[in-house]
């Protein structure tokens, strides 16, 4: 049994899937591989995700320490950007493998 951030997981794979599983988390992380992005940039890259879903998924990724959220309050309008933390950066090889596998499946079907 694994316990991380107050959550219990039955095995190591469930830890990974608990943190990055679901429809949108891996997509968000994949787009952040190249560097920080603002919220609106993510919305443009991912036009089919709802604002609510994107906000919730970013919040969960931030809570799990995978994404860092930085708010710039020096002048209006408020600017917020997101980037991978060192923990998030450790997922890059996995995310690239997932993307490569998806490319291969897309060609085979």
Tally of CB atoms within 10 A around 54: 17
**H or E element that contains 57:** helix 51-63
Tokens 């219990």 label which residue? Answer: 8
The pTM score is 0.88
Domain boundaries, the chain: 2-108
- For the segment 65-88, what is each residue's pLDDT rounded down to a tens digit? 999 999 988 877 788 999 999 999
pLDDT above 80 for 57:
yes
- Given this model, what pLDDT does residue 3 score? 85
* pLDDT, the chain, mean: 91
Query: Of the candidates 68, 69, 70, 60, which has an alpha carbon nearest to the alpha carbon of residue 20?
Result: 60
| 2-108: CATH topology | Arc Repressor Mutant, subunit A (1.10.10)
Tell me the average pLDDT across 29-58.
95
Decide if 84 contacts 74 (C-beta within 8 A): no
């Amino acid at each position: 049994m694994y316990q991380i951030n107050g959550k219990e997981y039955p095995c190591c794979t469930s830890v990974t899937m608990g943190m990055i599983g679901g429809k949108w988390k891996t997509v968000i992380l994949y787009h952040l591989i190249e560097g920080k992005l603002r919220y609106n940039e993510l919305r443009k890259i991912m036009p089919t995700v709802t604002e609510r879903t994107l906000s919730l998924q970013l919040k969960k990724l931030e809570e799990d320490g995978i994404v860092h959220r930085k708010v710039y309050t020096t002048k209006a309008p408020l600017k917020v950007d997101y980037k991978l933390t060192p923990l998030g950066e450790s997922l890059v090889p996995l995310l690239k493998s997932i993307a490569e596998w998806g490319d291969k499946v897309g060609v085979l079907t």
